[in-house]
Chain A
């Protein structure tokens, strides 16, 4: 299924039978229930409502689930790394360096007392043999790559001095410094204004097409995913209930996907009442 969009190359990431469970005093909560998919050098959207397990899937790939989570997978492979068997030490070589995670709100992800340029420079692994001057040049180049017009000025700013959109671009620049092969973006544009959102998406789009990154784009926004991604996985109650090409999302076959799409208000198809999703218990298992 991935081969048509990824070409002849093997997938960057293979997930087979991923489960994430939480042991609570009352019962075992199953957040992710047997999820399987692959990611190539493409934009794959994971959509679902809150509690569908979409963020937990992203976290499990990086082994960043909470301590009380029990993660099980038949296969969890990223390039040559068997994440399933990887130790915490092995994961340090993967996290941030080969797979980067971009989160929703730059306000909470940047260090408030450090200049943004220095924070970006910190993302380069120690012992890479880069001199200070070279490092600074690389940061400035990266700031320019995420379309910051005056990189030298922005380098010396503190996080509270940059806008939300610029903060998110700084975050992306930081995530790209180690030259990762894959990005996990968890609602990367939800905290941004619409006009800035377009710019940030365009940057992510270019990264996939020009640098050949694999992008896992986690979102609750069906419209956005349908127009931005190549493929879409729709999650419900910890399972992938449907997978399709993003352009074909409006032809979705699963009743849940159809229900979600029908419940969206639309400017050019106004109607007195919105369709309400009737959740079928069978969706939990089919």
Chain B
């Protein structure tokens, strides 16, 4: 469904040239959920932004649903591919009601039966009709993220790109949103890409994942490999250990390595 080959994205120029994404390749099959995991600045979000057309300054090859992508995307692309962002406080217009927010994609794509679509999608994300005319400030963080998911789903996309969809939420709310995403991707037969810094979230949601650092994919693995601790790259093992919590002995190792590099 998604093929990315030798993707490169740079920011700045001259001395301050940064290779944010430095020759990344991967494939995501239809119906699969593929995870990109890494720390801040590793280039994982930049890949999603290039994929969905928010960043048109990239090199390499991107194909979605057997269509080769150019930097400029036709309107039909956005009916097929939708994105959910990290911060539900920033991604919703504060002076638009839920209804207005959901009407926008309907108008853009000239979809019929607006009323029925909105009612159905609000139901699907577990909000219901009672929330239809509320403003974002009347909603909790989790409810806002449900609206953002509804906005993506309303055009009935084939691909859903998720950029840290739960990292601004409390763990109990995170569980609700992850369950919701699991349900809808099954019902709507979505192909998903999930970007997160949290290895346990990736492990919970994804079939396969790529571990990124410094704009490169260090290693691609199945979630079964991850679960069994079959990490080939030292960096993946570090991420794995860190996700299990603090360990005095490992911290000493990390400190020693830190001394060597910095």
Task: Please give the residue numbers on chain A whose beta carbons come within 8 Å of chain B beta carbons, in ascending order.
Answer: 49-50, 147, 149, 163-166, 193-199, 201-202, 205, 220, 222-224, 226-228, 259-260, 263-268, 270, 272-277
**B245 near A226 (CB under 8 angstroms)?**
yes
**Once the chains bind, are A222 and B251 in contact (CB under 8 Å)?**
no
Q: Do B245 and A266 touch across chains, with their CB atoms under 8 A apart?
A: no
- B204 located at the interface, meaning its Cβ lies under 8 Å from any Cβ of chain A in the complex: yes
Known contacts A198-B242, A198-B254, A270 near B170 by CB under 8 Å: no
Q: Are B244 and A220 in contact (CB under 8 A)?
A: no
Which B195-227 residues sit within 8 Å CB-CB of chain A? 198-201, 203-204, 223, 226-227
Q: Are A267 and B227 also in contact (CB < 8 A) when A201-B251, A202-B251, A273-B179 are?
A: yes
Q: A267-B226, A270-B227 are in contact. Are A194 and B172 (CB under 8 A)?
A: no
Determine whether the beta carbon of A223 is less than 8 Å from that of B244. yes
A194, B245: Cβ atoms closer than 8 Å: no
Give the CA-CA distance A268 to B226 in the complex, in Å. 9
- Measured CB to CB, the nearest residue on chain B to A269 is B227
- B100 interfacial by beta-carbon distance below 8 Å: no
Tell whether B143 is near chain A: CB-to-CB under 8 Å.
no
Tell me which residues across on chain A come within 8 A of B176, comparing CB atoms.
276
Are A195 and B254 closer than 8 Å at their CB atoms?
Answer: yes
CB–CB A263/B174 < 8 A: yes
Docked-complex contact A265 and B178, CB < 8 angstroms: yes
Question: How many residues from B make CB contacts under 8 Å with A?
Answer: 39
Across the two chains, which residue of chain A brings its CB closest to B258?
A: A199
Cα distance A264–B250 when bound, in Å?
23
New A-B pairs, 16, CB < 8 Å, besides A50-B170, A276-B176: A147-B258, A194-B242, A194-B243, A195-B238, A197-B242, A198-B251, A199-B251, A202-B248, A202-B252, A205-B246, A223-B243, A265-B178, A267-B200, A267-B240, A267-B244, A268-B227
Considering the chains assembled together, what is the distance between the CA atoms of A266 and B174 in angstroms?
Answer: 13
Q: Are A224 and B245 neighbours in the complex by a CB distance under 8 Å?
A: yes
Cβ B200 vs Cβ A202 within 8 A: no
Contacts of B244 in A (CB 8 A): 223, 227, 267
A259 to B176, CA, bound (A): 12
CB closest chain-A residue, reference B250: A198
Q: How far is the CA of A263 from the CA of B200 in the complex (A)?
A: 12
Residues of A within 8 A of B199 (CB): 267
Q: Which residue from chain A places its CB closest to the CB of B39 in the assembled complex?
A: A193
Residue of A nearest to B42 (CB): A193
